[in-house]
């Protein structure tokens, strides 16, 4: 298995010495944000994680390898080359075979983190059930992966372009514990709130770490979703977000955009329609999730 991995020496050391690690997915940097902002924000996230005494570990694919702890300059060059594939769980082997450049989604990242025994992943928002999934069957592999790999994922809820209620139902079906950190309502990415009550609320990270440890000890195979709401100052209005999401969804349907292409298209349009407010919000929430991921990783290391 390890022949397909290239693991940065710092990560190897962390694995040997049980130094807490926060694994970071890479798709959000390649498609959710303009490249320059993305690299700057990524560096800030790494800084935040180090300040919390954990090691930031960015995951991507290139040259026929899974790069665990890819260096910032290499990642930046990869984005500049411009031919980066969005790699879901199922795309890992084909991307390796082709020696392609790939950024990993939550599903691919969770699988990779689990392969190396690294228990915490931080991201922006996870994928889930799409609003028109009754017709398209578009349900993110992120859910399948969270159901099957015991990783704690810190995210600001699910992507706002999704059907949040259906996604919460699906996570219950799949046996994925969902804990909102310090809030009663399940957060909806760009907004601190949604219409949906969070399945569980916990205000103390130690308590959340306790849940992570308990489900490990019980041998449950599912992960845990820690839903950490966007910081107050950056939270956008639910009505505004609903409006722009619906509008961009209609456009995407008209243009015949389907599958993996949907999210990147919607994100770009939403960023345009909100005059960049969602870019700022996106960066703010990823930074906060990095911080919480780092704190949590110090607590759950086993």
Per-residue binder mask for ligand PSU (CB under 6 A), 69-108, x = binder: -------------------x----------------xx--
The minimum distance between CB 29 and ligand PSU, in angstroms, equals 9
Q: Which is nearer to ligand PSU, 105 or 297 (CB)?
A: 105
CB of 90 to Mn ion, least distance (A): 11
Considering only residues 199 through 238, tell me which ones interact with ligand PSU, judged by CB under 6 A.
none
Binding segment for ligand PSU (CB under 6 A), chosen from 10-18, 121-129, 192-200, 246-254, is: 121-129
Query: Of 13, 17, 86, 159, which is the active-site residue?
Result: 159
Residue 278 binds ligand PSU (CB under 6 A): no
Residue 25 interacting with ligand PSU (CB under 6 A): yes
Which of Mn ion, ligand PSU, none does residue 167 bind to, with CB < 5 to 8 Å depending on kind? none
Nearer to Mn ion, 132 or 274 (CB): 132
Rule CB under 6 A: say whether 141 interacts with ligand PSU: yes
Choosing from 138, 183, 189, 229, the residue that interacts with Mn ion (CB under 5 A) is 138
Indicate if 159 belongs to the active site.
Answer: yes
Complex with Mn ion: residue 113 or 139, whichever CB lies closer: 139
DSSP string, the chain: -GGGEEE-HHHHHHHHHT--EEEE-SHIIIIIS-HHHHHHHHHHHHHHHHHTT-EEEEEEEETTEEEET--HHHHHHHHHH---EEE-GGGHHHHHHHT--EEE-HHHHHHHHHHTT--EEE-S-B--BBTTHHHH--B-HHHHHHHHS--EEEESBB-TTB-HHHHHHHHHHTT--EEEES-SBPPBTTBS--SSB-S-EES-HHHHHHHHHHHHHTT----EEEE-PPPGGGPPPHHHHHHHHHHHHHHHHHTT--GGGHHHHHHHHHHHHTTTHHHHHHHHHHHHHHHHHHHHHHHH--
Catalytic residues: 25, 159
């Amino acid at each position: 298995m390890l022949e397909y991995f290239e693991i940065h020496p710092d990560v190897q050391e962390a694995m040997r010495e049980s130094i807490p690690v926060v694994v970071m997915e890479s798709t959000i940097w390649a498609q959710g944000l303009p490249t320059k902002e993305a690299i700057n924000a990524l560096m800030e996230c790494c800084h935040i994680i180090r300040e919390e005494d954990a090691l930031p570990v960015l995951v991507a694919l290139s040259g026929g390898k899974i790069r665990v702890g890819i260096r910032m300059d290499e990642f930046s060059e990869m984005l500049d080359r411009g031919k980066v594939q969005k790699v879901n769980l199922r795309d890992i082997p084909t991307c390796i075979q082709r020696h392609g450049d790939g950024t990993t989604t939550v599903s691919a990242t969770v699988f990779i983190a689990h392969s190396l025994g690294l228990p915490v992943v931080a991201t922006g928002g996870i994928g889930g059930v799409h609003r028109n999934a009754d017709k398209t069957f578009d349900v993110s592999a992120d859910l399948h992966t969270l159901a099957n790999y015991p990783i704690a994922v810190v995210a600001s809820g699910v992507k706002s372009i999704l059907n949040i209620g259906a996604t919460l139902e699906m996570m219950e079906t799949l046996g994925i514990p969902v804990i909102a950190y310090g809030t009663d309502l399940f957060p909806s990415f760009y907004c601190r709130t949604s219409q949906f009550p969070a399945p569980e609320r916990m205000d103390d990270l130690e308590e959340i770490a306790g849940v992570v440890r308990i489900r490990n000890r019980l041998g449950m195979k599912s992960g845990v979703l820690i839903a950490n709401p966007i910081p107050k100052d950056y939270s956008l209005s639910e009505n505004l977000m609903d409006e722009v999401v619906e509008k961009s969804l209609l456009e995407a349907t008209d243009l015949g955009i389907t599958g993996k292409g949907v999210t990147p298209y919607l994100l770009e349009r939403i960023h345009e329609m909100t005059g960049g407010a969602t870019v700022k919000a996106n960066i703010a929430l990823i930074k906060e999730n990095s911080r919480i991921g780092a704190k949590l990783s110090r607590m759950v290391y086993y």
